[in-house]
Structure 1
């Protein structure tokens, strides 16, 4: 078996054992066995709810000033009561992403020796089994090139394929019907539910599935079912379209047209075009972390062994890394209409049926979904998020004015398919005033990795400039400390004891650490960009003055990095969120070489979180731990976290989950951020490019003593290939796609590095540099 496959020697009996395929918009989670197979169909835009105005209880700055006075006077209880009256709107028709339907295939014959595979190099899921000594095959893929999901079924003997197919809707309204010729099953539906909306509004969908029999056999369709009898081979074509973003009725015919075009093209050409389109992205990065005998075992067995402490399987970590890239390509393509949500591009029908929602959580989850995008050479996958941020910034102007009486734009903890930007419906977690800014700083990241000057001047700077306008208008000088602070706001989604010995949980305060770090990054980036572009001199002066008044990062009385402006007692020392460590990872205000005292304080914070009783063992937290330890150049601790994530917080199909009990969940729920955050952490352990350095193998663990990678990306439009052996770098090649300078760092050595666009540089184990010219594609 290829190392770059997930494979299993048994059927999948439930969703969490399935294998995912996706084309950047529509997706299928495929599970089943010999007699039955289910494709759980999802679509990024299939949302309940609608865009609607969110009324504010605040008159603006006058109310904000009065509200802040409670916090300046340390009257947190009254301050939180007032905030609930002014800044806690009703939920309304916020909505949630919903699954569309199940495609259910029933097979006439029993089977044995079931083998299921997901090939990461071709993005094709296969099922093979035997019936009376004859092999039966199914393979399925989601084509981005042609906008369809396609499945081929065949037997080694004539007349070996007999099955039926039907559709089961997953929402309150769903209908399917047969076309007269019997080969087509059409459907329409609407994303309706009554937990996150009123049950009467939501995106509509329409589509169909067409069955083609090859090599004999008969097809008949009736009562919402298509049946194929005694064919040698069959091909199924599935497509879906929604009315999201459309005006008029043309969208209703789009799926049917794509199915017709796909059938006319033919399966072989569809398959070849799909692989070429997918592989052009996937093949950019290769990673080897070492060989192991366990690589030949089924994937679920490898995960079980890791969970039991048998971690002599470096190839499993490489598989997990490439799986994260696979999931990015499946869910986020350059033309995707929306970005990845809480469950990426899938939907297990659990998060959307409870208070969680399958939405855009802007206080770590969606940010983490995109942590690996640039480093793992999938920059195009960032673009749907860039467009979403633009929509968020446009809608956020109303939130800034209506709730705070301020210029610019703001968004908070959660958002939806229509760019919801108001505070959420509970201040204890919903009043995260920098949620929109946190996600918007991905604009900066995209620029730093690509150095796309047009993107900087036309997209990144205009959006972030308006975010800066909000915070310049919104922030206030603290009357006791004389620092410019945000607030009232939260440190997501944590609480504190405002008074020593108090048992009361307080959530709101002024100037949380996360807010201050994000605002500092925003102001400095806007100032540097405005100076570079020669724009907005008055704004430049405002920013310089504001930067000088921002609070510094602080170390608390117990040696920890403070989470709040004041050194409050933690009410939940076991809490899952590490937002105040944002300055360590993914940002880079804290580094061991430039800020050693703050680095040690960050380590104390990490140790305290892990050593506390009832530590919340959550997938995104573990991924964040791994990233933070990587930034502290502690490869062994980072490796421990990745091992825990893969072995203890992933289903057998390597999708990460949140344990029962978190946020009221009654069962393990798939959450995408663990996969993406874990992938980002692995890349970070191998290559870092911040704080003016290009750091090679910054956090290499002993278990990955030998290996190689190619195609990882770094800030400054650089690409790195590297080989190491017995824990030492043997050599590296850096490809430059722009001109610039940085500092190379490796194993305690440093060397200045100037590079020119279109050149490659070979670097030996002593950091000696030689140059050669390459031709850029």
Structure 2
């Protein structure tokens, strides 16, 4: 009788599992972002990518723009980043910090301890000569100067003049002119001219007289002496000299105005937003830079005959990585399909029409880079060649056309298609980059080979290979949280309604979109995802679109292991391999230390030295944090070959650095990290909490790896000794977890970085085994608040989930999915129409951090057990998940209803003991490699 009941129960559970799998499969079919209109701006466009080639699809009916990137196109060149001899200033910097002289320590470090910039040695004489030349031109300042042929620009521009067509990436000298009408009652008074921040030098004239000049990025307020202005029209002329990055008149604290001295700007004359401009010289000497910038490659423009369009739709299907546009015009249904193929290394654009002979268009290649040319390769191929202005890289792109029916004409400027039944464009792109110290590649040969390979393939075959390749990654995981009332709305409308109306399937879409973006931007054999993944349309992208290593690069890979995309971590391991080499020189020259070190930013050329400013650029824990994720990969996969041959040597090198670097604090006697900082907060200090949490984690993991591999016992003993001497986490006067050695936290401080929470997540320095520290961390999180930039909110989702506060984690998730580009026009953290995360502006780490945050609500395995539904929000009362991964080498499928676990399957990939916990019950199961184990809601094995 007992066996019959057991068999019946087993059948019931099997049936439930089949329904769960069917529901998960259904949810996979709903994974589309879709819209009723073309993209109006870049953050409306839809991303595709194969790990190396990425594109943004705008989908216009009359003109379609496909803006594309190739992962290796950066400014700069191979070079040393470390500053020789910096180490001799280390003792002085430390002593100044011990003496409480932070400003003096920062000044000394800025002068002597920061890394080398590009072109640092040659810049000064070239710049002096160029500045003298452009500054000698003063004629445009004259009131009567004829500017009738000048173009116009809207000012101020918050993100610099680069967003203005014709100004993309522009550096140099530019003249700006406007006029304003002076009322009679203001004449005879001293007036103030307020034009806001200027990047970087200005010479400002009123009615031909120089009234002010400055060489910084501060707000400009200049006094116009009484008598210089007259009733009626007056002229303002500003020569702006911009060396790099944002240029022009950028932001204004008060008003863009002329007003009486000592009075409110509101009482003055507001300046017009439209100014005239003349680009005087756009070729200044290459400005010294700490880091290189990731660059856009070019654009494909598809220009169609003008027609009245109906039934327009644009979508991105993340279940098979294809984007689509469809519409009707003159009784014909037109469709376009876009994909970026990893097997064939091309971007494909496939055009069809319901009526034969209806496809006619012109295709053009254009680039923002000054040094680009297009040329005809053959009767079906147009090429574009470019050279980076500030760097050694060159790029080539081929646009190849295949048609059914119709005529094709290729010139040096475009490809014209007339009367075709079908048309398919194949886009290839490559650079001369081979690795961070070799730029001897042949991009022309690479493009030619890629096009030659696909010339005799059908589009159907290329698409099938692309989908098969993509889905081997994507289909390892599925999730179904149920369907909300807004599930059938366009994506931009769902964003607006998400916080007011439950839409659990939108969370499913967002989570799977994070996985889609990781697969599309990080594939084995290519480089890692940068601050914008693979996608960037600006020559001066935000923060250089580089690799920021005080959280952002690491956050990009938070979902990789747990959401069954371990293979996508390979590019991350690749950059760690490189940095472990380049970081040796920085460790030696700056700290006189063995091993390797990485500070808070790196780029294509793998610089590891301190950059930007001493108050935040001297942060020594980047390499150790990268090593945390190497160890995590081992914990998830139990791959001892990876641990022995790749991870452990790099972990050991990072630990060797800290064994040397840690010094005794003269006040407490503990070992501390100094000089360093709590990332981007509080300046250069001795002993930030985050550093100590990361260093302890590194030492602990190295010790465990040493024991597991049976090597380096003496070194492990050294680490044990040092581990116990590192200053512990401290609880401050407000009951908070201290961010620094000193108890100086401000309860009103809402800084975006919550760095001292590292020990809660992603680390394990603070767990529920130390409840007093967890409570202190929770207190700190309440003080820091729930607002923030996109990635900061994503981090908070994970922290609150790790604290097992599911509803608070979900609250943060709703903020992460709030609209970034609101009707007021002011951007904030959240998501854009295409679900890209907003810092603002766009940073992809929030997408990845958010996807990881959902997994943290549903499963945690950082301790001894695999805990099911540890932070399930009350808003997600039912769901099913398949393929979520746990440390120890286990894949889990499970479902829940009314907030309670229903079914559970565990696949053991490596064998060993599996400890499962749900609510107050814990069980242990001895497993065999490759075997699946089933359990009921009470964790009873079936």
Q: TM-score, normalised by structure 1?
A: 0.92
Which secondary structure state, in structure 2, belongs to the residue aligned with residue 607 of structure 1?
A: helix
RMSD, matched Cα: 1.6
- In the alignment, the residues of structure 1 paired with residue 545 and residue 807 of structure 2 have an alpha-carbon distance, to the nearest angstrom, of 34
Residue 41 of structure 2 is aligned to residue 14 of structure 1: yes
- In the alignment, the residues of structure 2 paired with residue 570 and residue 452 of structure 1 have an alpha-carbon distance, to the nearest angstrom, of 44
Check the 8 A contact 1:90/1:425 in 2, yes or no: no
- In the alignment, the residues of structure 1 paired with residue 725 and residue 784 of structure 2 have an alpha-carbon distance, to the nearest angstrom, of 30
Aligned pair in 2 of structure 1 residues 174, 728: CA closer, same or farther (>3 Å)?
same
Displacement after TM superposition at 1:674 (Å): 0.8
Displacement after TM superposition at 1:95 (Å): 1.2
Residue-by-residue CA offset, 1:467-522 (whole Å, 9 max, x unaligned): 11111011111122111111110100101xxxxxxxxxxx1111211110111011
Aligned pair in 2 of structure 1 residues 121, 224: CA closer, same or farther (>3 Å)?
same
Check the 8 A contact 2:636/2:889 in 1, yes or no: yes
- In the alignment, the residues of structure 1 paired with residue 914 and residue 665 of structure 2 have an alpha-carbon distance, to the nearest angstrom, of 38
Alignment of 1:89-100 (within 5 A): 89-92=115-118, 93=289, 94-100=291-297
Alignment of 1:424-443 (within 5 A): 424-443=611-630
Check the 8 A contact 2:431/2:441 in 1, yes or no: no
2:933 corresponding residue in structure 1? 761
Aligned pair in 2 of structure 1 residues 78, 281: CA closer, same or farther (>3 Å)?
same
Residue-by-residue CA offset, 1:557-601 (whole Å, 9 max, x unaligned): 111111112212449811100111011111122223x12111111
Aligned pair in 2 of structure 1 residues 249, 68: CA closer, same or farther (>3 Å)?
closer
Displacement after TM superposition at 1:419 (Å): 0.9
- In the alignment, the residues of structure 2 paired with residue 218 and residue 176 of structure 1 have an alpha-carbon distance, to the nearest angstrom, of 21
Displacement after TM superposition at 1:129 (Å): 0.3
Alignment of 1:25-424 (within 5 A): 25-56=52-83, 58-60=85-87, 62-92=88-118, 93=289, 94-110=291-307, 111-181=309-379, 183-192=380-389, 199=390, 201-214=391-404, 216-245=405-434, 248=440, 250-306=442-498, 309-336=499-526, 338-349=527-538, 352-353=540-541, 356-424=543-611
Check the 8 A contact 2:59/2:314 in 1, yes or no: no
- In the alignment, the residues of structure 2 paired with residue 407 and residue 572 of structure 1 have an alpha-carbon distance, to the nearest angstrom, of 41
2:137 corresponding residue in structure 1? none
Residue 876 of structure 2 is aligned to residue 704 of structure 1: yes
1:500 corresponding residue in structure 2? none
Aligned pair partner of 2:662 in 463, 475, 487: 475
- In the alignment, the residues of structure 2 paired with residue 283 and residue 3 of structure 1 have an alpha-carbon distance, to the nearest angstrom, of 14
Displacement after TM superposition at 1:27 (Å): 0.7
- In the alignment, the residues of structure 2 paired with residue 429 and residue 509 of structure 1 have an alpha-carbon distance, to the nearest angstrom, of 10
Check the 8 A contact 2:627/2:698 in 1, yes or no: no
Displacement after TM superposition at 1:739 (Å): 2.4
The aligned length equals 730
Residue-by-residue CA offset, 1:522-572 (whole Å, 9 max, x unaligned): 111111111222212321221111011011111111111111122124498
Displacement after TM superposition at 1:58 (Å): 4.2
Check the 8 A contact 2:82/2:586 in 1, yes or no: no
Check the 8 A contact 1:619/1:645 in 2, yes or no: yes
- In the alignment, the residues of structure 2 paired with residue 138 and residue 205 of structure 1 have an alpha-carbon distance, to the nearest angstrom, of 27
Aligned pair in 2 of structure 1 residues 321, 249: CA closer, same or farther (>3 Å)?
closer
Displacement after TM superposition at 1:743 (Å): 3.0
Please tell me whether Structure 1 or Structure 2 has the larger radius of gyration of its CA atoms.
2
Unaligned runs of 5+ in 2: 1-26, 119-288, 820-829
1:573 corresponding residue in structure 2? 749
Range with bigger deviation, 77-86 or 400-409? 77-86
Displacement after TM superposition at 1:703 (Å): 1.6
Check the 8 A contact 1:494/1:572 in 2, yes or no: no
Residue 822 of structure 2 is aligned to residue 630 of structure 1: no
Check the 8 A contact 1:13/1:32 in 2, yes or no: no
- In the alignment, the residues of structure 2 paired with residue 72 and residue 95 of structure 1 have an alpha-carbon distance, to the nearest angstrom, of 34
Residue-by-residue CA offset, 1:85-129 (whole Å, 9 max, x unaligned): 332234325211010001111111422221001111110000000
Displacement after TM superposition at 1:655 (Å): 0.7
Aligned pair partner of 2:764 in 572, 577, 588: 588
Displacement after TM superposition at 1:55 (Å): 4.9
Check the 8 A contact 1:98/1:171 in 2, yes or no: no
Aligned pair partner of 2:704 in 528, 532, 535: 528
- In the alignment, the residues of structure 1 paired with residue 655 and residue 485 of structure 2 have an alpha-carbon distance, to the nearest angstrom, of 54
Displacement after TM superposition at 1:769 (Å): 2.5
Range with bigger deviation, 110-119 or 714-723? 110-119
Check the 8 A contact 1:491/1:563 in 2, yes or no: yes
Which secondary structure state, in structure 1, belongs to the residue aligned with residue 517 of structure 2?
A: helix
1:501 corresponding residue in structure 2? none
- In the alignment, the residues of structure 1 paired with residue 741 and residue 337 of structure 2 have an alpha-carbon distance, to the nearest angstrom, of 56
Check the 8 A contact 2:738/2:745 in 1, yes or no: no
Aligned pair partner of 2:836 in 636, 655, 669: 655
Aligned pair partner of 2:688 in 491, 506, 512: 512
Which secondary structure state, in structure 2, belongs to the residue aligned with residue 78 of structure 1?
A: helix
Aligned pair partner of 1:716 in 860, 877, 888: 888
Aligned pair in 2 of structure 1 residues 753, 557: CA closer, same or farther (>3 Å)?
farther
Aligned pair in 2 of structure 1 residues 751, 431: CA closer, same or farther (>3 Å)?
same
Check the 8 A contact 1:692/1:742 in 2, yes or no: no
Aligned pair partner of 2:674 in 487, 493, 499: 487
Aligned pair in 2 of structure 1 residues 135, 743: CA closer, same or farther (>3 Å)?
same
Aligned pair partner of 2:642 in 430, 455, 460: 455
Residue-by-residue CA offset, 1:351-375 (whole Å, 9 max, x unaligned): x345x21100001111110000000
1:686 corresponding residue in structure 2? 858
- In the alignment, the residues of structure 1 paired with residue 558 and residue 441 of structure 2 have an alpha-carbon distance, to the nearest angstrom, of 38
- In the alignment, the residues of structure 1 paired with residue 795 and residue 86 of structure 2 have an alpha-carbon distance, to the nearest angstrom, of 38
- In the alignment, the residues of structure 2 paired with residue 324 and residue 4 of structure 1 have an alpha-carbon distance, to the nearest angstrom, of 12
1:465 corresponding residue in structure 2? 652
1:599 corresponding residue in structure 2? 774
Which secondary structure state, in structure 2, belongs to the residue aligned with residue 552 of structure 1?
A: coil
- In the alignment, the residues of structure 2 paired with residue 706 and residue 590 of structure 1 have an alpha-carbon distance, to the nearest angstrom, of 30
- In the alignment, the residues of structure 1 paired with residue 114 and residue 439 of structure 2 have an alpha-carbon distance, to the nearest angstrom, of 33
Aligned pair in 2 of structure 1 residues 490, 572: CA closer, same or farther (>3 Å)?
farther
Residue-by-residue CA offset, 1:674-721 (whole Å, 9 max, x unaligned): 100000001111111111110111111122111100001110111000
- In the alignment, the residues of structure 2 paired with residue 586 and residue 726 of structure 1 have an alpha-carbon distance, to the nearest angstrom, of 29
Check the 8 A contact 2:80/2:607 in 1, yes or no: no
Which secondary structure state, in structure 2, belongs to the residue aligned with residue 293 of structure 1?
A: coil
Aligned pair in 2 of structure 1 residues 411, 321: CA closer, same or farther (>3 Å)?
same
1:552 corresponding residue in structure 2? 728
1:646 corresponding residue in structure 2? 817
1:562 corresponding residue in structure 2? 738
Unaligned runs of 5+ in 1: 193-198, 496-506, 660-668, 771-777
- In the alignment, the residues of structure 1 paired with residue 316 and residue 612 of structure 2 have an alpha-carbon distance, to the nearest angstrom, of 41
Check the 8 A contact 1:639/1:701 in 2, yes or no: yes
1:504 corresponding residue in structure 2? none
- In the alignment, the residues of structure 1 paired with residue 86 and residue 343 of structure 2 have an alpha-carbon distance, to the nearest angstrom, of 50
- In the alignment, the residues of structure 2 paired with residue 653 and residue 343 of structure 1 have an alpha-carbon distance, to the nearest angstrom, of 14
Displacement after TM superposition at 1:242 (Å): 1.2
- In the alignment, the residues of structure 2 paired with residue 322 and residue 146 of structure 1 have an alpha-carbon distance, to the nearest angstrom, of 24
Displacement after TM superposition at 1:302 (Å): 0.6
